Amino acid sequence: MISEERKAVVSNVRKVLIKIGTGVLTGKEGLDLGIIDQLVEEVAGLKKRGMHAVIVTSGAIASGRHRMGITRKLRSMPEKQAAAAIGQGRLMRIYSNSFGKHGIFVAQMLLTMSDLTDRQRFINIRNTLTKLIEWGVVPIINENDTVSVDEIKFGDNDHLAAMMANIIEADLLINLTNTDGLYDRNPKESRKARQIKLVREITDEIEAAATAEADPVGMGGMKSKVMAAKKVTACGIPYIIAGGKKKGVLNDILSGKEIGTLFLPMTDCLNSREYWIAFTLRSRGKLILDDGAKSAIIDRGKSLLPSGITEVEGEFSVGDPVICLDREGIPVAKGLVNYSSEEIKKIQGLKTSKIEQVLGYKHYDEVIHRDNMAVSRDKRLRKA
C-alpha cells in the first residue's frame, strides 16, 4: 500500500540527489562493479522517465586502500588522502564506463567546505551544476579528500549531499546506505529493533535512535545521516534513507513504495522573508507566465522578466505582492512587483532592453526580483 505521504513526496520529483555510501559501493574485493552497474542502470531509467539525477558518491578511499592491498583501517589523514587520490580516478572510470553503456556522460566535481562558504565559488558550483543538468550529464560529486583536512573537511559525504541538495534545489534526497533505514534502536545490538518508516519531525527520540556507531567501511554512520536529514528537511526537501544494495531500490522509492525511512520536509522551511511574502501578504493580482519564465524561476533560480509574462490580472501598484501562475493556473511563485499592473501590461512579452523605449524609463530589469520572491518546491504556495 502506498501512503499519502509517499505519494506526495514522489509525485513531482524532477531533480533527485542520490548519495551512495562506501558500504554500498564496496564488497570484500574493493569496489563492487555489479552494484555500481545495478545502480547506474536504475539512474539511467530515472533519466529516461525525465528526471535529473545528481550523485554524491563515497568509495574513493576504500577503493584506493584496496588497490594498495591494505586490509587494516587507514589511520592517518595523509593515508586516507593518498588512498582517496588513488581511488577517485578508478571510481570515476567505473561510473563513466557504467553510464556510458546507457549513452550517458558523467562529470566529476570534487569539493571542500571552503568552496561552499566562499560566495563566489558557491555561485560557480551552482552555475556548473545547472549547466551539467541542462546538458543531461550526471554530475558525480565527492569531497576533495586530498586537500581537505580538519576544518575544511565536510566531515562526511552525508553533509556534502545535504548541501548539494540545497544548491540544486532537489525535490528529493535519497541516501543509500548499507542498512535499510533508521531503526528505533541499534539493530546490531537489539533484535527488537524496528525500522522507522516515517519521520515527521526530528525529535530527541529520533536523534537518540540514530546510533553514532559508523559502519566499518563508511564514515558517517546513522547519526550523521540524521543530522544531515535536519538540514535537508529544513530547506523543504524530503529525505529518504534506504538500503542501496537492494535491486530496484531507486525505482521502488520513486514509485512510492514504503522503502527505507522517509523524513518529511519541515513545513516552515521557507526563510522568513520568503515566508512573509508567501503567506503573510495577500496577493493583489496575478501574472500569467509562459513556460520559459516558469522554468527559469523554478529550475534556474531566476528573477521574473517582462518577456515571460503573457497576461496581467487585477490592479496593483509598485511593491504590491502578486501571484505568478503558469499556463494551467498553477502557482509558480509569489513576489513583490517592481512595476504596476498598468506598466506591466505595456511591457509584457517584451525584452528587457525595450522597457525604456516603451515606458520612457527603466527603474529595474526585472518585474519581480528573485530576492523579493517566494518560490515553493512543494504545494504549499498553491494555497496562497
Using CB under 6 A, list all residues that contact ligand GLU: 21-22, 58-62, 84, 142-143, 145, 156-157, 218-220
Cα 92 to Cα 51, 56, 109: the distances in Å are 22, 12, 10
Q: Residue 251, SS3?
A: helix
Q: In angstroms, what is the minimal distance from the CB of 146 to ligand GLU? A: 10
Helices 157-168 and 119-134 pack at an angle, to 10 degrees, of: 70
> Judged by CB, which is closer to ligand GLU: 232, or 336?
232
Q: In angstroms, what is the minimal distance from the CB of 222 to ligand GLU? A: 13
Beta strand extents in the chain (DSSP E only) = 15-20, 26-27, 30-31, 52-57, 106-111, 138-143, 172-177, 198-199, 239-243, 261-263, 286-289, 309-313, 321-325, 331-336, 373-375
Under 8 Å between Cβ of 70 and 225 = no
Q: How far apart are the first and last CA of the chain?
A: 31
> Judged by CB, which is closer to ligand GLU: 175, or 348?
175
Of 172, 338, 192, 169, residue with least CA distance to 241: 172
Helices 33-48 and 77-100 pack at an angle, to 10 degrees, of: 50
Q: In angstroms, what is the minimal distance from the CB of 258 to ligand GLU? A: 27
Go through the chain and tell me how many residues it has. 384
Under 8 Å between Cβ of 262 and 9 = yes
Q: In angstroms, what is the minimal distance from the CB of 273 to ligand GLU? A: 33
> Judged by CB, which is closer to ligand GLU: 26, or 376?
26
Q: In angstroms, what is the minimal distance from the CB of 77 to ligand GLU? A: 12
> Judged by CB, which is closer to ligand GLU: 218, or 285?
218
> Judged by CB, which is closer to ligand GLU: 156, or 366?
156
Q: In angstroms, what is the minimal distance from the CB of 298 to ligand GLU? A: 30
> Judged by CB, which is closer to ligand GLU: 111, or 355?
111
> Judged by CB, which is closer to ligand GLU: 59, or 260?
59
Sheet holding 373-375, edge to edge: 309-313, 286-289, 321-325, 331-336, 373-375
> Judged by CB, which is closer to ligand GLU: 156, or 326?
156
Q: In angstroms, what is the minimal distance from the CB of 79 to ligand GLU? A: 12
Under 8 Å between Cβ of 339 and 308 = no
Q: In angstroms, what is the minimal distance from the CB of 177 to ligand GLU? A: 10
